[in-house]
Amino acid sequence: MLNISGLREGIVLDHIQAGKSLDIYYHLGLDKLECQVAIIKNAKSSKMGRKDIIKIEGPLDSISLEVLGYIDHNITVNIIRDDKIVEKKRLELPKKITNVIHCKNPRCITSIEQELPHIFYLADKKTETYRCMYCEEKYGK
Amino acid sequence: MRHLLNPLDFSVEEISRLLDLAADIEHDRPRFAHVCDGKKIATLFYEPSTRTRLSFESAMLSLGGSVLGFSSAASSSAAKGESVADTIRMVSCYADICAMRHPKEGAPLVASLHSSIPVINAGDGGHQHPTQTLTDLMTIRSLLGRLDNMTVGLCGDLKFGRTVHSLINALVRYPNVKFVLISPTELKIPEYIREDVLKAGNIEFMEVDNLDAAMPKLDILYMTRVQRERFFNEEDYIRLKDCYILDRAKMKLAKEHMFVLHPLPRVNEISVEVDDDPRAAYFRQVQYGVYVRMALIMTLLEVEKPC
């Protein structure tokens, strides 16, 4: 059994699909944070068989729930205060995401105007399809 | 303030009012000759286009307004690296309304986000061309007397042909419009039109590669040119450019009251021998384009209809 010290104040990202924690680590920019971050890979889970967990020491605003919702809205976000879970946040697929993914259409205006934000909107919730706000090019997950 | 970036920016009712106004203009042009006195349109054309630019300029001049602008990126400050956002901020100080054509998709949307004057998308890459759509709708309504209960054949480059995408988006809002999509495999309509517009809307359509077999079914045949500028590979263009040529023999297969439309310019996809056929409506379509752009300019500038 691997022991990871408890969190006094921070965030626990639970129910991450096994093997995806490093992707999330980089997508959320956790590599750029100064605080302690623990990644637990392949933890046993009654619900998922195997799962990954990320523990982050620090306030909730240190991560983007929008980005997390886009990557995997099934992840559970537990807010920890004084060693206790004080809130569980449910994630949803964000209606709009900015600068998370980039348009690959060579005909899109974003291909020549580098300073434009890459904005995608949720076009189809069922298929989790996002489209570029400018050229409507599809971005499949 | 409103912009026109996509044919769907206007509701069916708004399009109906716009086409009514365009028909009024058609029947009494002198009455509208001074409704835009003192107003200016900027035509910002980052890629060459004779027809659309002249149509906008003719429309504004016919309303009593004046025009300024540029006709290629090379003659604009884009050549110096100026962004679309900065260009439109500057143009907003010079003109009352602008029409923008840009080879990159979404450029007019970017302009609209930074503009203090109405922006009209005059074509952005292979994406949308709403004023061509309004022209097409006016032509169809004037010739057939309706925009519903018809079978529309779209032929040629359905992949990069933005006029086709815009027209499909606009026509699916009218009852009982069926589509026959005639193209080689490489130039089929994009998946987002097929899935999100046609299938999602339960619209009856078929995709075929044989124009002859489709002809007898059609009330409207919308021909398109295979556009060299949309290909990254010259070999593909040469292989596909002559895949459909409408000639007198094919016209014999069509209904007596079918009409042929084309956004122009044509190269050789419609043989000149078809021009004299009363069903060839592509030059009348150009005239309707001026009326509908006049109506659009009036609508976006909120100019009152003269008594």
Alpha-carbon dihedral B149, B155, B160, B165, rounded to 10 degrees: 0
Interface test with A, best of B105, B160, B191 (most A CBs within 10 A): B105
Inter-residue contact B278 to B191 (CB < 8 Å): no
Q: Do A107 and B102 touch (CB under 8 A)?
A: no
The Cα–Cα gap between B182 and B246 comes to: 12
The Cα–Cα gap between A23 and B143 comes to: 58
Domain count, chain A: 2
What are the pLDDT digits (tens) for A15-56? 999 999 998 998 888 888 888 899 999 999 888 899 999 999
Q: Do B105 and A133 touch (CB under 8 A)?
A: no
- Quote the domain boundaries for residue A122: 96-139
Q: Which of B142, B136, B195 is nearest to B161 (CA)?
A: B136
Task: Report pTM.
Answer: 0.87
B253 burial (CB, 10 Å; 0-12 / 13-18 / 19+) is middle
* Assigned token pair, B268: 């050789």
Whether residues B244 and B275 fall in one domain: yes
Inter-residue contact A100 to A130 (CB < 8 Å): no
Helices (H) and strands (E) in chain B, counts: 11, 9
Whether residues A81 and A103 fall in one domain: no
Q: How many residues does chain B have?
A: 307
C-alpha distance from B257 to closest chain A C-alpha (Å): 36
| CATH code, domain with B206 | 3.40.50.1370
* Assigned token pair, B13: 């009712």
Whether residues B175 and B102 fall in one domain: no
C-alpha distance from B83 to closest chain A C-alpha (Å): 7
Contact list, B105 vs chain A (CB under 8 Å): 105, 107-109, 134-137
Domain membership of residue B197 (yes or no) is yes
Whether residues B29 and B19 fall in one domain: yes
Domain membership of residue A125 (yes or no) is yes
| CATH code, domain with A108 | 2.30.30.20
- Quote the domain boundaries for residue B62: 7-128+289-300
* Assigned token pair, A109: 């205006």
Interface of A with B in 5-24 (CB under 8 A): none
User: Pick from A113, A123, A132: which is nearest to B83 by CB?
Assistant: A113
Interface test with A, best of B80, B113, B127, B191 (most A CBs within 10 A): B127
In the beta sheet, which residues pair with residue A18?
none
| CATH code, domain with A45 | 3.30.70.140
Residue holding tokens 């109906």?
Answer: B16
Domain membership of residue A1 (yes or no) is no
Angstrom CA distances, A10 to A26, A62, A64, stand at 18, 10, 14
Residue in B closest to A117 by C-alpha: B110
A44 burial (CB, 10 Å; 0-12 / 13-18 / 19+) is exposed
Per-residue pLDDT of chain B (307 residues; tens, 9 = 90+): 999 999 889 999 999 999 999 999 999 999 999 999 999 999 999 998 888 999 999 999 999 999 999 988 777 777 778 899 999 999 999 999 999 999 999 999 999 999 999 999 999 988 889 999 999 999 999 999 999 999 999 999 998 877 898 899 899 999 999 999 999 988 899 888 898 899 999 999 999 999 999 999 999 999 998 877 666 677 777 777 778 999 999 999 999 999 999 999 898 899 999 999 999 999 999 999 999 999 999 999 999 988 8
Residue in B closest to A133 by C-alpha: B106
Buried b (16+ CB within 10 A) or exposed e, A110-138: bbbbeebebbbebbeeeeebbbbbbbbbb
The two beta strands, B119-124 and B177-182, are unpaired
Which among A48, A73, A89 is the end of a domain? A89
The Cα–Cα gap between A51 and A43 comes to: 5
The two beta strands, B40-45 and A138-139, are unpaired
Domain membership of residue B150 (yes or no) is yes
Contact list, B104 vs chain A (CB under 8 Å): 107-109, 111-113
- Peptide linkage before B265 cis (omega within 30 of 0): yes
Contacts of A19 (CB under 8 A, 6+ apart): A41, A42, A52
Residue in A closest to B82 by C-alpha: A113
Residue B232 has a pLDDT of 67
Domain count, chain B: 2
Which among A89, A106, A125 is the end of a domain? A89
Domain membership of residue B1 (yes or no) is no
C-alpha distance from A55 to closest chain B C-alpha (Å): 40
A35 touches chain B (CB under 8 A): no
Whether residues B296 and B199 fall in one domain: no
The Cα–Cα gap between B295 and B22 comes to: 5
Residue in A closest to B124 by C-alpha: A135
Inter-residue contact B139 to B105 (CB < 8 Å): no
